A and B are shown apart, each in its own frame.
Chain A
């Protein structure tokens, strides 16, 4: 059948209610079957193993304090991110220098460095000989909680800046102008008008930073040393314990991580809108001083200093050994695949293959869900409930999700290849990113456009093909970029699921943790390849986005 005939037939089919709802229901069933239920059921299956931990007070308190560390760090880092990300976003969107465009682009760099490489980069910068420690004679920040805080700040900062920049660009500046003409200096105008209005975005930025922090595993493992947070504890358990104690402890830690994360997420969601920023109290003289001259320029300087000294330079520090490696025999050795490199290249291929498969799956099963959520296709209440549920995997620590998901699939479907379980794990973690960005994009399209197309004779699928799809192309691609990046970076869920397979970040973690004998130059080069290839793929995707995003 010719292509157009086939499309016409499909269009006609789509106007049947049964077909339309069939598609939506399939999307919902797949969401429950592949994404939401396995992680929950996994824990329930092994509920009894937790008894092992409850019988060992020492192990239990170690698990609890690790989990507590996870949340303390996540809350602290997210608050710090918002506090430092706000002036940076302000500078990018409101500053007048022509260099701000460059700054805008550069602020994304730590986002594209896979976190395992980022962790090694920070370790080199802060702790190892050759980093800033060489300036201070001793390792400035040794492995431990402070380095974990620095690491989490570094990788979540760009996310927060991106969200707030987006919010400030969308925000109607007329409100701020109104405030200025009523007598408010810039600081007062932003404090009493701009930020209260973009508060939902500040909360969203906080939640994103928070969820990134509690999920991150690979890089944290690299810089943690003897310090343990939830994911590191689970990793250590895998290393140190065997049999049922091991299983009990990781199930216990995972359960607490999931439960507390969900509780915090729901609390923020419920209380966030009620949180009032103080707008009535005003200190005119003091705020005027903060608005102009020294105060404003020192705020900008501190913002730039934090960005360059704590975020950007440490993130890219791994480039030094990588460049060094290029001028030694490490490069030819790596290209020949000798020694540790055979496994490295395999893992790199696996990472990108996994990223690609997961991205495609997301588009297929995430798109109908995004439409259900955005257009309330299954009724107001069910759609609103789905909207909340879709976010659940986002806030659940990925290692806990991986642990539980692996238990579920291996217990019930033992025949399933490890590769498939790995794909399911990555799918569960990335799904919320895709659905959220797509549903936001669909919401931005006025329903009038779709109705206009229907009145002109288009069938539901035709409307989707000719109106929704062209108008959301940009968002599909940017959603795909997010999914791909997240999948390639993901370590926690991967280590929780795999026994024999290795992805690139897992290999890097093993190299750094001396599980496999790799030289520092080799590790540097391994990180370098990972960054460069990821960068090239993202750049290619971005170019496509740029070419297609003219709406």
Chain B
């Protein structure tokens, strides 16, 4: 199963830069996701790999083959469209055997493949149905079956679950991953849903405004985001603004707004530099009353939201910054609105980033 290399690829639509000098290497048999907000260029990248559009600059390789000038039908890919694009004038069966047929297989051979893939997606009983007679989930499974039947070694999925109900979406994403792994395919999955990308991918590339922000495993992206944007887009983060007040060896002391001092571990900063601390809501501890200690800040509970698994607190800190804290609802004590509390965090759980040139709001904006 092929690997895919995208080398310095750029693409413009009129004056809009969709992709700006993007390079990626997707390994053999890898389930790889392109994750980013709408309009970030992820679908453009997928369509470039499929050959549906041509790059303005750069090179694309599928396996050892340089494919810039290879038409889509000769790239040995399977493409699952967001709208499914099931041919409305053909039933499930004819849709599924379309690939083998246009590749010149005889009816018998096409039939064998058709049965195999329909078995795999459990749609045998509906093979006579037309697309408009299928549920969203069935349409999606037909679209996957059709792409697999074409003999694809590289499966390209463009928001394949975007049009489905939440429950069906969760079920199907594991089904797709299982099939890809069983068949030892390479898959590239485009999505704007970070939970979806995190739960099925071997690795993820986070894309913003046509540029790759970070590539890594879901754990790496979550535990070690390398930019404010990634810290915000993958999972959730609280952002606290401040200045580097002390830099000694590995220790960094940061003075937050209002003079509160906290400690962090990152180096590579200068004294006096304006920074942003990113701390995940679930890494805070919260306790009643006022307490002094490292990275402990007092405040009061302003809002409580019960979400089932978690309970979330919005806490107004003494310096007037507001943070979110998430705690498992069935463990530990609960806090009430107006209650005085102390929140604290471990220094290694805080990621320190230089303050973005464009401003914090602009940097984390997803639209």
Q: Which residues of A contact B (CB under 8 A)?
A: 172, 174-175, 177-186, 188, 192-193, 196-197, 279-280, 282, 284-285
Pairwise interchain contact A282-B85, C-beta atoms closer than 8 A? no
A182–B146 CA distance with the chains assembled, in angstroms: 8
Residue B249, interface by CB 8 Å: no
Q: Contact: A181 with B72, CB < 8 Å?
A: yes
Q: In whole angstroms, what is the CA distance A164 to B312 when docked?
A: 58
Interchain CB contact under 8 A, B81 and A188: no
How long is the Cα–Cα vector from A184 to B98 in the complex, in angstroms? 9
B89 within 8 A of A: yes
* In contact, B150 and A183 (Cβ under 8 angstroms): yes
Closest CB of chain B to A239's CB: distance in Å? Answer: 51
Q: Is the Cβ of B81 less than 8 Å from the Cβ of A177?
A: yes
Residues in B neighbouring A282, C-beta threshold 8 A: 101-102, 104
CA distance A188 to B87 in the complex (A): 14
A196 to B87, CA, bound (A): 10
- Residues of the A chain whose Cβ atoms lie less than 8 Å from the Cβ of B102: 179, 182-185, 188, 192, 282, 284
Decide: A180 near B72, CB < 8 A? Known: A188-B102, A192-B102, A285-B104: yes
Q: Which residues of B contact A181 (CB under 8 A)?
A: 50, 52, 72-73, 75, 77-79, 147, 150, 156
Q: How many B residues touch the partner, as a band?
A: 20 to 34
A279 touches B73 (CB 8 A): no
Give residues 83-112 of B contacting A (CB, 8 Å): 83, 85-90, 94, 98-99, 101-104
Cβ contact of A177, chosen from B72, B88, B103, cutoff 8 A:
B72
Residues of B near A172 (CB, < 8 A) are 83, 85
Given contacts A181-B78, A280-B101, contact A196 B89 (CB under 8 A): yes
- Which residues on B sit within 8 Å (CB–CB) of A184? 73, 98, 102
**Are B99 and A177 within 8 A (Cβ)?**
no
Please name all residues of chain B whose beta carbon is closer than 8 Å to the beta carbon of A280 when the two chains form the complex.
94, 101
Q: What are 10 of the A-B contact pairs (CB < 8 Å)?
A: A174-B81, A174-B83, A177-B81, A178-B81, A182-B79, A182-B146, A184-B102, A185-B71, A185-B102, A192-B98
Report the Cα distance A313→B83, complex, angstroms.
44
Q: Is the CB of B103 within 8 A of A183?
A: yes
A179-B83 contact in complex given A185-B71, A197-B88, C-beta closer than 8 Å = no
Does the CB pair A175–B73 fall under 8 Å? no
Question: Smallest CB-CB separation from B102: which chain A residue?
Answer: A184
Which of B51, B85, B147 meets A175, CB within 8 Å? Answer: B85
* Known pairs A175-B88, A179-B87, A197-B87 / 16 extra A-B pairs, C-beta < 8 Å: A174-B81, A175-B87, A178-B81, A180-B71, A180-B73, A181-B75, A181-B156, A183-B103, A184-B73, A184-B98, A192-B98, A193-B87, A197-B88, A279-B90, A280-B94, A284-B103
List chain B residues, Cβ under 8 A from A284. Answer: 102-104
Measured in the bound complex, the distance between the Cα atoms of B94 and A193 in whole Å is 12
* Known contacts A181-B50, A182-B150, A185-B73, A174 near B98 by CB under 8 Å: no
CA distance A186 to B77 in the complex (A): 16
Q: List residues of chain A with CB within 8 A of the CB of B151.
A: 183
Whether the Cβ atoms of A182 and B99 lie closer than 8 Å is: yes
Q: B85, A180: Cβ atoms under 8 Å? A: no
Assess whether A279 is in contact with B103, with CB atoms less than 8 Å apart.
no
CB B46 to nearest CB in A, in angstroms, measures 11
Cβ-defined contact, B71 with A178, below 8 A: no
Complex: A188 Cα to B101 Cα, angstroms: 11
Of the candidates A172, A174, A180, A280, the one having the most CB atoms from chain B within 10 angstroms of its own CB is A180
Contact B52 A177 (CB under 8 A): yes
Q: How far is the CB of B227 from chain A (nearest CB, A)?
A: 33
Closest to A199 in B: B89
B54 CB to nearest A CB, Å = 11
Chain A residues with CB under 8 A of B78: 181-182
| CA of A284 to CA of B99, assembled, Å | 11
Contacts of B50 in A (CB 8 A): 177, 181
Q: Tell me which residues across on chain A come within 8 A of B79, comparing CB atoms.
A: 177-178, 181-182
Residues of B within 8 A of A179 (CB): 87, 98, 102
Cβ-closest chain A residue relative to B143: A178
Query: What is the bound-complex CA distance between A24 and B34, given in angstroms?
Result: 55
B87 contacts which chain A residues (CB < 8 A)? 175, 178-179, 193, 197
Residues of the A chain whose Cβ atoms lie less than 8 Å from the Cβ of B71? 180, 185-186
- Expressed in whole angstroms, the minimum distance between the Cβ of A197 and any Cβ of chain B is 6
CA distance A183 to B50 in the complex (A): 11
Whole-angstrom CA separation of A178 from B50 in the bound complex: 10
Kindly list chain A residues whose C-beta atoms are within 8 Å of the C-beta of B156: 181
- A184–B147 Cα distance when bound, in Å, is 13
A382 to B209, CA, bound (A): 54
For the complex, give the distance between the alpha carbons of A282 and B71 in Å: 19
Contact of B73 among A174, A183, A193 (CB under 8 A): A183
B residues in contact with A285, CB < 8 Å: 104
Whether A177 touches B85, Cβ cut-off 8 Å, given contacts A182-B147, A284-B104, is: yes
Chain A residues closer than 8 Å to B89, beta-carbon distance: 196-197, 279
Give residues 296-314 of B contacting A (CB, 8 Å).
none
- The docked-state distance in angstroms from the alpha carbon of A172 to that of B77 is 21
| Chain A residues near B72 (CB-CB < 8 A) | 177, 180-181
Q: How far is the CA of A386 from the CA of B50 in the complex (A)?
A: 48
Kindly state the separation between the CA atoms of A78 and B283 in the bound complex, as whole angstroms.
74
B338 nearest CB across to chain A (Å): 41
- Cβ of A283 to closest chain B Cβ, rounded Å: 8
Max chain B Cβ within 10 angstroms of own Cβ: one of A183, A186, A284, A285? A183
Give the distance in Å from the alpha carbon of A35 to the alpha carbon of B94 in the complex: 46
List the 10 closest A-B pairs by CB distance, nearest first. Answer: A284-B104, A181-B79, A178-B85, A182-B99, A184-B102, A180-B72, A174-B85, A182-B150, A183-B103, A196-B89
Query: Could you say which of B52, B101, B146 contacts A180, with CB atoms under 8 Å apart?
Result: B52
The residues of A that contact B73 with a CB separation of less than 8 Å are 180-185
Question: B341 to chain A: closest CB distance in Å?
Answer: 46
Choose among B72, B78, B94, B150 the residue with the greatest number of A CB atoms under 10 Å from its CB: B72
Which partner residue on chain B sits nearest A181 by CB separation?
A: B79
